[in-house]
Amino acid sequence: MVDKSSQSQDREKYYITTAIDYVNAAPHIGHAYEKVAADVLARHNRIRGREVFFLTGVDEHGSKVQKSAEAAGKTPQLFCDEMALKFQSAWKALDISYDYFIRTSEERHGRVTQIIFARARDKGDIYKAKYLGLYCEGCEDFKRERDLDANGLCPNHKVPPKQIEEENYFFALNKYKPILKEWLVNNPQAVQPESRRNEVLKQLDDPELGDFSVSRSRSSLTWGIPVPDEPDQVIYVWVDALINYITGIGFEEYVTGAQNGAGQFAKFWPANLHLIGKDIVKFHSIYWPAILMAADLPVPQMIYGHGFLTVEGQKISKSLGNVIDPVALCEKYGADAVRFFLFAGTPFDQDGDFSREQLVKKVNAELANNLGNLLNRTLNLVVKNCDGKVPNAEADHNLREIANSIHPVIDEHMHKLEFAKAIEAIFALVDQANKYIADERPWTLFKEGKQKEGEKVLFTALEVLRRSALSIYPFTPSLAAAIWHQLGYAEVISVVGEVGEEKHFETIPVGQSVRNEGPVFRRIEEAVVE
């Protein structure tokens, strides 16, 4: 068991956020990758008794969204309303249990963004100056010439940036660079994995990284949040977007003293984890902490930049025709199969690949053949030989010790966002249980009249299944709930965490009636792939 005394007291609350997605295009499997990862962590912490707040949402301002709305012949707000529903539908299909879905076009968010902007401006950390620079609309970011490829194109969007000259507001980043560096040196966990942290430290040593523009002229951008007391200026979309993390947890209620939600910000901020893609680490690890410092607010505890997801070895791209709709994917294979496959192979800090063929092989092998068959044959034997009830026995000592040792290993892997290793540990226990049954042959023991010996084997298998359901629940919530139900529990597995992680070390109640209702996960037939 994890020693709680060795962990920070704020582990009892857990605030996790994802990056918010631009609504200029529909959600695809790449967007889903991050959102499912955050959901896995949210469920993992909930079932261990922690109070969790999980925030996700969409980024609705900026020139990209404005142009997409114009191309669709719609107002930006109507366009955003329709696109936000698409993202919410996708996350519902994937069984993502967020607590709040934020939209940056919310009036509340506009007010919070203006409060933070005004705080920094009043402090002298935001000032007005003329600017001439190269701006990539795809990145919604200014580029240096050395950031471009050999053809003078943005390496991400393969288009030349536009040269823009405006009088804008700037943020005094140079003032905060030494403070940010000290923060990262003294708090190694603040930016992870280590390779991303090293990148950020290197960027902070770059003399070309300095004060940056935090507004645009309304003549060039109309779809955004106005600068306080200066409506001809619009707040830079990245500043606007980053502030969603405090809007969604009730910052406005906190500063105004409103009754409903004032305590939420005080309880959950700073965030335990900002989960983001590796391409936006600079914004979250340099710009965002500096803005928070300027606003006299605590910085997040950890920023984690995960790898990208490719499809059949290729970058996700409309031009390649490999954009995968997560809703259609769930309709074909089921949410549990998709969720499980996304994290069962590639380490989360590295780029992963999505393949339908590999999905079918992996989920059939592990969820259907391995875990599913362990449940099926155990329950069949319990019904046949124990009157359908959990026998009065004790678990095999060796297997119980293995289970006890694996549980904290899983917990540690999850804490480090090592999802593939956590899944590997879960199935190491399932493998041990399958081997144990094969070796002990309980069907033979019952035939030979060795009732107690046979009951011990079945009780041990039931206990491993109970542990496995709790451990795999964050990855495959519906499958885990089905196993939990068939093991005979009246409660739903998602509320088990209300009694804390000690539940993992209890045992399945003797005499509890199981529900042998058939396979909990059916094999995906090859015909479905075609």
Residues marked active site are found at: 28, 31, 136, 139, 154, 157, 315, 318
Q: Could you give phi then psi for residue 249, rounded to 5 degrees?
A: -105, 10
Of 250, 253, 209, 274, the closest CA to residue 20 belongs to: 274
Of 454, 379, 484, 467, the closest CA to residue 428 belongs to: 467
DSSP states of 269-330 as a string?
Answer: PSPSEEEEEGGGHHIIIIIHHHHHHHTT-PPPS-EEEE--EEETTB---TTTT----HHHHH
> Count H helices, E strands: the chain?
22, 16
Question: The tokens 């010996």 sit on which residue?
Answer: 453
DSSP H/E element including 193: none
Query: 141-143 and 191-192: which strand pairing?
Result: unpaired
Query: CA 364 to CA 199: how far, in whole Å?
Result: 39
Strand partners of residue 97? none
Tell me the C-alpha to C-alpha distance, in Å, between residue 351 and each of 167, 277, 354: 40, 10, 10
Question: Tokens representing 456?
Answer: 């011990």
DSSP states of 119-174 as a string?
Answer: HHHHTTSEEEEEEEEEEETTTTEEE-GGGS-TTS--TTT-SPPEEEEEEEEEE-HH
Query: CA 245 to CA 240: how far, in whole Å?
Result: 10
* Residue 398 DSSP one-character state: H
